[in-house]
Amino acid sequence: MSGKIYVVAGPSGVGKGTVIKRLFELDKNLSLSISATTRQPREGEVDGVNYYFITYDRFQEIIENGGFLEHAEYVGNFYGTPKQPVIDKAEEGFDVILEIEVQGAMQVLENMPGAKGIFILPPSFEELEKRLKGRGTETDESVMRRLETAANELGCINMFDYYVVNDTVEGAANRILEIIESRRGIEDDEE
């Protein structure tokens, strides 16, 4: 039986990365999709682990070849999900997690009927701003643009199947796991 596809989205700074890291410690039957991006690597980020860091020209080439499941521009950079690895891993029986922004998430939810959307919410907008600033990796301008984008992203929340508030990492990771476990063994057309 094939695995299922979950699109996990939510505003930048909400802690998606940390929650997903914990989720992968809790369950071994998951596979994380590695995205391609034209953004510059941050300190400590490794090509092929965090992202495939590619040029704008290469990104366009992949789009033309139909190699992305979805792609989007986010705060001046391009991000895309390589299609084949997602299909391969799902066929191998893994539940595949895509950690992507909202425009891309909506493309996947519209094009892949079996995929489910999980939206991660901050406990409050103030908390989100605090987390983004505390991260120390963004310039003031980038924090501002990410907050503006977050406000727009919240407007798309009704496209998602599940909401999870990231009050604590442990709590949020466990709630996502419950969602995934509750759907194991169910065929897509039984829903």
Asked if 101 and 79 touch (Cβ cutoff 8 Å), the reply is yes
Binding mask 84-103 for ligand 5GP (x = CB under 6 A): ---------------xxx--
Q: Which stretch binds ligand 5GP (CB under 6 A): 24-32, 77-85, 109-117, 156-164?
A: 77-85
**Kind of pairing between the strands at 5-9 and 116-121:** parallel
Considering only 4, 23, 35, 94, the residue that binds ligand 5GP (CB under 6 A) is 35
Asked if 128 and 32 touch (Cβ cutoff 8 Å), the reply is no
**Shortest distance, position 110 Cβ to ligand 5GP, whole Å:** 13
Query: Does 6 contact ligand 5GP by CB under 6 A?
Result: no
Q: Which stretch binds ligand 5GP (CB under 6 A): 79-87, 117-125, 167-175, 181-189?
A: 79-87
Helix, strand, coil percentages for the chain (3-state, nearest 5):
45, 20, 30
Query: Does 119 contact ligand 5GP by CB under 6 A?
Result: no
What is the distance between the alpha carbons of residues 165 and 81, in angstroms, rounded to a whole number? 25
With CB under 6 A as the rule, give the number of residues binding ligand 5GP: 13
Q: Which is nearer to ligand 5GP, 35 or 166 (CB)?
A: 35
Query: Does 80 contact ligand 5GP by CB under 6 A?
Result: yes
What is the distance between the alpha carbons of residues 86 and 163, in angstroms, rounded to a whole number? 23
**Kind of pairing between the strands at 68-74 and 52-53:** unpaired
Q: Which two tokens stand for residue 145?
A: 């643009």
Residue 63 CA, distance from chain mean position: 19
Positions in the binding site for ligand 5GP (CB under 6 A): 12, 35, 39, 70, 72, 74, 79-81, 99-101, 104
